[in-house]
Amino acid sequence: MTQEPILAIDSLSISFDTRRAEIPAVMDFSVSVQPGEAMGLVGESGCGKSTVALGIMRDLGRNGRIAGGTIRFKGRDMAEMSEAELRRIRGNEIAMIYQEPMASLNPAMKVGRQLMEVPMIHEGVTAEEARARALKMLDDVKLPDPARILDSYPHQLSGGQQQRIVIAMALMSKPALLILDEPTTALDVTVEAAIVELIRDLGRKYGTAMLFISHNLGLVLETCDRICVMYSGEAVETGTVAEVFDTMRHPYTQALFRAIPLPGADKTARPLQAIPGNFPLPHQRPPGCNFGPRCSYFEAGRCDAQAIPMQDVRPGHATRCLRAEEIDWTAEPEAEAETEARTPGKVVLSVEKLKKYYEAGANALFGGETQVVKANEALTFEARESETLAIVGESGCGKSTLAKMLMGLETATEGRILLDGREIQDLPVADRDGGLLGDLQMVFQNPFDTLNPSIPVGRQIIRALELFGYGASDAERRERMLTLLDLVKLPRDFAERMPRQLSGGQKQRVGIARAFAGGARIVVADEPVSALDVSVQAAVTDLLMEIQKREKTTLIFISHDLSLVRYLADRVLVMYLGHVVELGTVEEVFAPPYHPYTEALLSAVPIADTSVEKERIVLEGELPSATNPPPGCPFQTRCRWKAQVAGDRCATELPEMRRFGAHQIRCHLAPEVLTDMPPVLRHAAD
């Protein structure tokens, strides 16, 4: 590649001045992006990815400044450009797409106007011309019915559609470089898959160079040509995606891959390996190698002696590790003591034809038209002692409603929930006794929300113990609280801390301790790790499984991350629009026969493994609304197998559960068709 790069960043340093100290957010960062190339930037949150992007845009806010290095755009040093020139480049030649689509859209302006403004302002074309271009662009980003969408306001569109509009808007000015900062993190997997596919196709079609920022290695594999791994403000490894994924030469990259569940990962044979320790804050970086304190190859006296420079392993593949040549990169991680598999015991929880309809839309004072939201339709399943049952599905499919009914936060419209044979579906949480409350507990998704910010950590656990009627005296409860902190591997003096003094992973541990406080029989974990960084996810997941095993708890694990589900669950329940569409063991659900929706879900999950080949199935259309679900099969509006069912049965008749032993699939397709489906994931070697 002798072409001149679109973007060349050389030893860039960026600092933020705060009142307390100067924070070096990015140090000695170099990267280049060739025309038409997609460059991936990965790393944990806070490592400086967004700061690099904002530095390129020269949009660092009042307290940020470029402390050193150069950024060249098309060969010209951006530091030497005038304000006017920078403004022209920012709107026109470099476009940026953020995680939150609404950050880039004006809520008070129709989508059409916002799109048309771009060429009208930058190129001075007429309104008709601009409208024609906008229509064409909407077609390019695969939005159905572009004319109607041009006439809508942003809030009338779904999150996925909004993000498509933002991409269309960015491409309207035909930029030479597109910067995408976690563009799909706020979206569902299936929507994410569609957007990623779109980004990749458009990149090819328009030849736009891209800088793709993400914390998800799988996504980078699917979209990018080259990758740059960042750690604590520095680039630690750069190279082509294939090279970095298959022959990584930095211990941090290796640790990242060992911390995420890959399709082959088995919870008993190869447990996830968390990266020990914590991410250093920018002003507390260790001397020498930033990764030193957490690196298993650390060598005192060498790694902490001086700053480590970036070195080439091969042309085009560089790493910031002194020992890259010495480490045996093929060595398997030391397998931890083989943990024996759990054997599920007797049935603890059974749910029969459970149904929940919400009434919405009526005005409390004056009445009015009520609408019925059909959140759950006739759910039937069982969960056994020491079993992990995963519930997967897109947001809005009714997972959380189910969790709320189990917890008693909502009562059922119809059907039964039996806990040890006792009916609890009509027992709101206010009427439950301490024992029952302690038996059924929940771990929440958002670590920043799960603890009350105004109450010390220990006090919050003690309060739960009080309500579960645990212990006779305050001293006894306090003792139990301390052992609970031990259980979740937090130091005992955390009891006195306020939640804001804890990191996300630590807060989630407290949340787990609180859930297990009353010796819970059933714990519902609603996306407990999805908001955590990969390196922390592994540790929290393993902790959850360990406690579950010890306490013989039934874990109901709600998640959209199918890789994780495959890693930790025993059985999987797939939901779509309030229905159970598939139920079976992990092995059954992750191999044919599939329900057509499960097949699409599996295909949507980004997998960070170059040896896995995926069948691409992109779901067209939007998730139907739960107030107005389609007749017949709930999935019929998006199903690619529909044509294989004779007659119009998919559109008229709700399919019965088809049984393959204990494995159940709600679909009209003939059993042979289902069993003959090709597998979605294949190892290249097979």
Partner 1 sequence: MEPLSWGAIAARILLQFLPVWIALAATFGLSWVYRAKLGLYGKLFDNRIGLIGLFLTLFWVYTALAAGLFDWIATHDPLTAVSGMKNKVPGTPLRGAEDGDFPYYLLGGDGLARDVFSRMVAGSWIVVQIAPLATLFAFMAGITLGLPAGYFGGRLDSVLTFAANLILAFPVILLFYLLVTPEIVASGLPAYLSAGLFLLPLVFLGLLINARARTNPRRRWMLLAVMLLPLGWAYLSLISAQGSALDLLPAALDLFDVPGGILVVFVSVIFVNAPTVFRLTRGLTLDLKTRDYVAAAQTRGEGPWYIMLWEILPNARGPLIVDFCLRIGYTTILLGTLGFFGLGLPPDSPDWGTTINAGRKLLSIFPHPAIAPAVALLSLVLGLNLLADGLREESLKD
Ligand X SMILES: Nc1ncnc2c1ncn2[C@@H]1O[C@H](COP(=O)(O)OP(=O)(O)O)[C@@H](O)[C@H]1O
32 lines the binding site for partner 1 (CB under 8 A): no
- Token pair listed for 502: 């804890």
Strand partners, 526: 558
Give 399 or 514: the residue with its C-beta nearer to partner 1.
514
Smallest separation (angstroms) from ligand X to the CB of 20: 10
Give 63 or 311: the residue with its C-beta nearer to partner 1.
63
Smallest separation (angstroms) from ligand SF4 to the CB of 139: 27
356 lines the binding site for partner 1 (CB under 8 A): no
By CB under 8 A, the residues from 512 to 531 that bind partner 1 are 514
Supply the DSSP symbol for 387: -
By CB under 6 A, the residues from 286 to 345 that bind ligand SF4 are 289, 291-292, 295, 297-298, 303, 308, 321-323
Give 223 or 386: the residue with its C-beta nearer to Mg ion.
223
Number of residues interacting with partner 1: please give it, by CB under 8 A.
34
Cα 409 to its chain centre, rounded Å, is 26
446 lines the binding site for partner 1 (CB under 8 A): yes
Pairing mode, strands 663-666 and 38-42: unpaired
384 lines the binding site for ligand X (CB under 6 A): no
Q: What is the per-residue burial (b if ≥16 Cβ within 10 Å, else e) of 7-35? A: bbbeebbbbbeeeeeebbbbbbbbbbbbb
Phi, psi of 29 (to 5 degrees): -105, 125
- Token pair listed for 567: 């890693």
Among 51, 273, 319, 541, interactor with ligand X by CB under 6 A: 51
Contacts (Cβ under 8 Å, ≥6 apart) of 660: 584, 588, 593, 671, 674, 675
Smallest separation (angstroms) from ligand SF4 to the CB of 325: 11
50 lines the binding site for Mg ion (CB under 5 A): yes
The shares of helix, strand and coil residues in the chain, as percent rounded to the nearest 5, are: 35, 25, 45
Of these partners, ligand X, partner 1, Mg ion, none, which one is at the site of residue 136 (CB under 5 to 8 Å by kind)?
A: none
Q: Are 313 and 326 in contact (CB under 8 A)?
A: no
Number of residues interacting with ligand X: please give it, by CB under 6 A.
16
Q: Which helix (H) or strand (E) holds 128?
A: helix 127-140
Give 5 or 55: the residue with its C-beta nearer to ligand X.
55
**Rg for the chain (alpha carbons), in Å?**
27
Q: Are 563 and 295 in contact (CB under 8 A)?
A: no
Give 432 or 480: the residue with its C-beta nearer to partner 1.
432
Name the residue with the smallest CB distance to Mg ion. Answer: 50
User: Interface with ligand X by CB under 6 A: which range of 47-55, 407-415, 552-560, 610-618?
Assistant: 47-55
Q: Are 480 and 474 in contact (CB under 8 A)?
A: no
Smallest separation (angstroms) from ligand X to the CB of 595: 36
669 lines the binding site for ligand SF4 (CB under 6 A): yes
Tell me, residue by residue from 465 to 504, as one string, x for binding to partner 1 by CB under 8 A and - for no binding.
Answer: -xxxx------------------------------x----
User: Interface with partner 1 by CB under 8 A: which range of 111-119, 376-384, 446-454, 488-496?
Assistant: 446-454
232 lines the binding site for Mg ion (CB under 5 A): no
By CB under 6 A, the residues from 133 to 162 that bind ligand SF4 are none
Phi-psi region of 11 (alpha: psi -120 to 50; beta: other; left: phi over 0): left
16 lines the binding site for ligand X (CB under 6 A): yes
What angle, 0 to 180 degrees and rounded to 10, lies between the N-to-C axes of helices 159-172 and 111-123? 10
Number of residues interacting with ligand SF4: please give it, by CB under 6 A.
25
- Token pair listed for 381: 């399943």
Q: What is the per-residue burial (b if ≥16 Cβ within 10 Å, else e) of 259-278? A: bbbbbebebeebbbbbbeee
Interacting residue ranges for ligand SF4, rule: CB under 6 A: 251, 289, 291-292, 295, 297-298, 303, 308, 321-323, 596, 633, 635-636, 639, 641-642, 645, 650, 655, 667-669
Residues that bind partner 1 (CB under 8 A): 19, 363-365, 407-409, 429-430, 432, 434, 437, 440-442, 444-446, 449-455, 463-464, 466-469, 500, 511, 514
